[in-house]
Structure 1
């Protein structure tokens, strides 16, 4: 099992590494690696019984090992000493401003990168323009006590995909970087791509456990389809297949008593429009929208607070052992007149304890949400492509206490962590995002070892 150790640097012109006393008993290693960089070195056990890694200045320079780091992970490996992991966070939208190298997202990434010492990893962020393919080096951005700094490092052990949107993901340059680093350089790449709502639904439909949580969902086909679902459920949602942040979500309600159709949605403000026919509703509201890119989803009679519907965000992360762990649960209460619970549309973040005053209800619903998230996380991992290390789920709970999956997000937003009582969970989600790279690195080293035998 990999273990985190303190690391120190000392001045010497030779390539020397003293590894912790408790790490191994035989001085057989003649190489040390950091990321893709491998250097022949004098590797010996600490002579004075110290449980710390000591690296000479010459060796650190040759490995391109940043000397601001205070802890690092040491991996068991028969071939060489492996330290790291070096985590490359791939993104786009870089600027020429040293204080904000990746624009407004710099603050989010600085929080993530500042976790390095508590996890024992070396994370940096980079874009396609920072790669030197010939030398297999990257001029990445690190976050230190002094702020942002750019340093040259080898190709990383793993890559965490943080492209900001589907448009950047589909650029030829982005696809080329992923293809070359993952397939030609054999670097594990986790959380690739954004989930497509319909694709997730169709892939999970034949999974017995996941099916329990899936509302009826289908691509938009015709008025007859909507009429049938309205007759069955009373209300439905029409939303973009590849939407996010609640953008483009429309709730359609059929009032049998008034024989009228209502459409609730939000653009710059909340709207509630009344129509005598479904056709007039569709022609008016969706006149400039491509219905072929929309899905129709069963409406759920949700639990409410002060007549405002509630849904729940659940974060699931893989840990350093490669196991799913529930890292955060929050309630989102919709704004008045809004069909969605997003904060930008007047929604409010609350804890489970604030929504359910009764202790038994708190425990009951928390367990239901945790079980649902773990069931679906395992199903998604089984049925979707790529290495998945984190998922943000949006769940609803109906008036009968049943849990429904509204959406799974491969790159979940972090608005729930603005709540003061959820900040410790913000810390946990960031920590596990980096910890998972330790598992992936060890897994790759073991695979490489098997191929080498």
Structure 2
């Protein structure tokens, strides 16, 4: 069991660490490590029955512990005592405004960092411009009753919060990521964004997951749309790398009147419904001179309904400090009037599961089905994707027969559902778990070092 220990700063000793009385060590410890910094020290048990970590003030300062550090985890391997984890949250978009150093996302990050003491993680924000390669330190940003700058060692673990694909692909961003991972062997989690078609094709290889997948193809010609409309009655056309429901079109074919219809959100006119005699005319109107290779076409599902509107679900899963997947948030999303999706920016609304009173399935049954599916898909994705995945946001649907469908998996899920008053508990839990995973990754990286030296 991974235990949290309070820190005490010792002023009457030098270069010394006092171990908690219940901390079990198998070897003589001679080195204290914090992040990638380390120093030889005298390490011994507390004289009295005290389950705290006593660190002499000189050692505390030499290793660049932030002054706000209060609770830590301890790991002992060979002659080294590791204290941490020190978690670097890597992002971009920093400003010179002290009260809003990360612009509009400052509140989001302050809320994220506010839970670190209860998790036992020392977390800070940094960007590529904050790395001091010569000294092996980072001028990071901490949050505790306000933002402040602090110099810390390179971290044990890095949590990727780059905001979009364009910034992620910048050479300077890639250079920092590659160097910290390759030269310093720092575990890096949530390293990139998911591509919808790539996710579909990878999951299709898993027989346990394929039943959750609506038929999905790259949009290469009109004939695949014609066939799918004949089979399913409606399809969705989505950008491969889209987000927030932008650029999504629903296509429908009415066999009785022979017309093709499309629903979409127009930037100027809002949600629209248009009718066409021919599929080619519809497609040429929507995608005139656009490259269709940027889109996918996906089977439409007859979803369960509430208030006579389509409903789908946002589910968050997180890795915990033991490296196990947990379902940490679930909410229903109800489509807005005439909307092609349930996204809030398209007029959708969020409801807690127990607020769905007029669906064919009971809320307990829906939660059970959706939880099982989200955990199964999380484990399957982890096997299929490169790097460490610490959190996933799923858009799942239930059809009128109770079958679960996966619409999207998001590597960097949004948090708009947590504005709903009854979902605040999920907001806190997802923030805690997104930091907690660093404890597991720190332990794994230390154990891998032990394997090297054996």
With structure 2 as the length reference, what TM-score do the two structures score?
A: 0.97
Cα distance between partner residues in 2 of 1:174 and 1:383: 24
Tell me, yes or no, if the aligned pair for 1:89 and 1:159 is still in contact at 8 Å. yes
1:120 match: 120
Aligned residue for 2:66, secondary structure, equals coil
Deviation at 1:171, TM superposition (A): 0.5
Residue 396 of structure 2 aligns with which residue? Answer: 395
**What is the deviation of 1:110?**
0.6
Matched-pair contact (CA < 8 Å) for 1:27–1:43: no
Q: In structure 2, how many angstroms separate the alpha carbons of the residues matched to 1:386 and 1:198?
A: 19
Separation in 2 of the partners of 1:291 and 1:360? 38
Q: Which segment is superposed worse, 27-36 or 323-332?
A: 27-36
Q: 1:366: Cα distance to partner? A: 0.7
Query: CA offsets per residue over residues 184-209 of structure 1, 9 Å max, x none?
Result: 11000001100000000001111011
SS at match of 2:313: strand
2:289 and 2:190 mapped to 1: Cα distance?
A: 33
Per-residue CA deviation, residues 313-354 of structure 1 (Å, 9 max, x unaligned), is 010000011000000110000110000111111110001111
CA RMSD of aligned residues (A): 1.4
SS, match of residue 206 in structure 1? coil
What secondary structure, in the 3-state scheme, does the structure 1 residue paired with 2:4 have?
strand
Mapped pair 1:383 → 2:381: no
Unaligned runs of 5+ in 2: none
Cα deviation, residue 236, structure 1 = 0.3
Write out aligned runs for 1:38-49 (5 A).
38-49=38-49
- The equivalent of 1:365 in structure 2 is 366
- Relative to structure 1, the CA distance from residue 31 to residue 359 in structure 2 (aligned partners, 3 Å threshold; closer, same or farther) is farther
- Could you say which residue in structure 2 is the equivalent of 1:59? 59
Secondary structure at the residue paired with 1:209?
A: coil
CA contact (8 A) 1:12 1:58 kept: no
- The correspondence of residues 188-267 of structure 1 with structure 2, limited to 5 A, is 188-267=187-266
1:61-88 deviation per Cα after TM superposition (whole angstroms, max 9, x unaligned): 1000012122111123232111000000
* Residues 142-191 of structure 1: CA deviation (Å, up to 9, x unaligned): 1012x001100000000000000000110111111111011111000001
State the TM-score, normalized to the length of structure 1.
0.97
Aligned to 2:72: 72
Give 2:342's aligned residue. 341
What's the offset of the Cα at 1:250? 0.3
- In structure 2, C-alpha distance between the alignment counterparts of 1:26 and 1:435, rounded to whole Å: 26
Moved more, 52-61 or 31-40: 52-61
Q: Is the 8 A contact 1:396 1:406 kept in 2?
A: yes
5+ unaligned residues in a row in structure 1: which ranges? none
**SS of the counterpart of 1:208?**
coil
Provide the rounded CA distance (Å) in 1 between the counterparts of 2:358 and 2:426.
21
- Paired residues, number: 452
Pair 1:136–1:10, CA change in 2 (3 A): same
Q: How does 1:271-350 map to 2 (within 5 A)?
A: 271-350=272-351
